[in-house]
Chains A and B, each alone.
Chain A
Amino acid sequence: RKEVEQDPGPFNVPEGATVAFNCTYSNSASQSFFWYRQDCRKEPKLLMSVYSSGNEDGRFTAQLNRASQYISLLIRDSKLSDSATYLCVVFDTNAGGTSYGKLTFGQGTILTVHP
Chain B
Amino acid sequence: GAVVSQHPSWVICKSGTSVKIECRSLDFQATTMFWYRQFPKQSLMLMATSNEGSKATYEQGVEKDKFLINHASLTLSTLTVTSAHPEDSSFYICSAPKPQFFGPGTRLTVL
- Decide yes or no whether A87 CB sits under 8 A from chain B: yes
Residue of A whose beta carbon sits closest to that of B100: A46
Q: By the criterion CB–CB under 8 Å, are B102 and A98 in contact?
A: no
Of B13-21, B43-51, B76-84, which binds chain A? B43-51
A residues near B42, Cβ cutoff 8 Å? 107
* A90 nearest CB across to chain B (Å): 11
| Chain B window 31-51, contacts with chain A (Cβ cutoff 8 Å), 1 for yes, 0 for no | 010100000001111101101
Closest to A101 in B: B97
- Choose one: B49, B91, B103; the contact of A97 (CB below 8 Å): B49
Total cross-chain contacts (CB, 8 A): 53
Chain B window 88-106, contacts with chain A (Cβ cutoff 8 Å), 1 for yes, 0 for no: 0001010101011011110
A107 to B51, CA, bound (A): 27
Contacts of A32 in B (CB 8 A): 99
Q: List residues of chain A with CB within 8 A of the CB of B48.
A: 97
Tell me if B7 is interfacial: C-beta within 8 Å of chain A.
no
Known contacts A43-B93, A43-B105, A98-B57, A103 near B32 by CB under 8 Å: no
Decide if B85 is an interface residue (CB 8 Å cutoff).
Answer: no
Residues of chain A at the chain B interface (Cβ within 8 Å): 32, 34, 41-46, 49, 87, 89, 91, 96-98, 100, 102-108
